[in-house]
Amino acid sequence: MSIFSAIVLAGGSGTRMHSDVPKQCINLMGAPLITYALRTFSQSKVDEIVFVVPKGEEEAYYRDFVEKYHIEKVTKVIGGGEERYHSVYQGLLQAKGDYVLIHDGARPFVTEEMINQSIEAVQTDRACVVAVPVKDTMKRAADDGFALETIDRNQLYQIQTPQTFEKQLLLEAYQCILKEIEFGREMIVTDDAMMIELATQVPVRLIEGSYTNIKITTPEDLIFGEAILKHLQKN
């Protein structure tokens, strides 16, 4: 039977939040932001959670979040790296699963349905990500700030997490791209699916996400987050 590992990332800072507190630690209606995603994964079909935290703060994060809030299935709390992709790679090295679900801890409203749909799809497609169609008009701009063209939004999706992969496939893709970066190639890698796109020929399946699955990054996001949470609690 296949094993599924969730790698939950909590390495962000509070820079864009204009806060001295890391965004994943900010209080959201009575509980730290990160605990919402951790609890959902612990209640899902995943077999283990690898919790990636700021390096040097492993014991504090275990005590303050995993232990205090009784989060189950967390098998490892490990220190991350300088960039997001370094943190994911460290998580991959520690994950026991045949498949891995990578999730940004700053997305507190991930659902069990998204997780379980991802688990089902990855066993056939090897790589899948949660996404929603873009709703706004999209334009491509020149360096001088003027619009060049309007892009057909019917083919555009806003990518979310979790992003789910056959572990060996993603691990080999990471090793390939990290080696390129180490040798001096300039690359901007913004998500895990991009690693697959750059290093393999495997297509990435899009799984239906939700417009409530927002990433809390700015003070405005907290306002939206509180409204979403109140709505979810009513239902």
Per-residue pLDDT, averaged over 166-192, amounts to 92
In a domain, 186, yes or no: no
d(CA 11, CA 9): 6
Q: Is residue 36 in some structural domain? A: yes
- Report if residue 130 sits inside a domain: yes
pLDDT digits (tens, 9 = 90+) for 12-58: 655 555 567 787 889 999 999 999 999 999 999 999 999 999 999 99
Average pLDDT, the chain: 94
Res 12: pLDDT: 63
pLDDT at 13: 57
pLDDT band at 208 (very low <50, low <70, confident <90, very high): very high
Average pLDDT over residues 88-92: 97
Res 89: pLDDT: 96
Q: Are 178 and 130 in contact (CB under 8 A)?
A: no
Question: Could you tell me which of 104, 101, 152, 96 has the C-alpha nearest to residue 123?
Answer: 101
Residue 19: per-residue pLDDT: 65
Please report whether residue 196 resides in a domain.
no
pLDDT at 17: 59
Q: What is the mean pLDDT of residues 150-165?
A: 96
Average pLDDT, stretch 131-143?
A: 95
Give percent of the chain above pLDDT 90: 86
What's the number of domains the chain is made of?
1
Quote the pLDDT of residue 25.
87
The CATH number of the domain holding residue 95 is: 3.90.550.10
> Could you tell me if residue 227 is inside a domain?
yes
193 belongs to a structural domain = no
Give how far Cα 76 sits from Cα of 46, 58, 99, 162, 172, Å.
Answer: 14, 9, 16, 19, 22
SS3 label, residue 149: strand
How far is it, in rounded angstroms, from Cα 199 to Cα 172? 8
In the structure, what pLDDT confidence band is assigned to residue 137 with cuts at 50, 70 and 90? very high
* pLDDT surpassing 70 at residue 226: yes
pLDDT at 235: 74
Residue 188 lies in a domain: no
Predicted TM-score of the model (pTM): 0.94
Asked if 183 contacts 105 with a C-beta cutoff of 8 angstroms, the reply is no
Q: Is residue 177 part of a domain?
A: no
Range of the domain at 229: 4-166+204-234
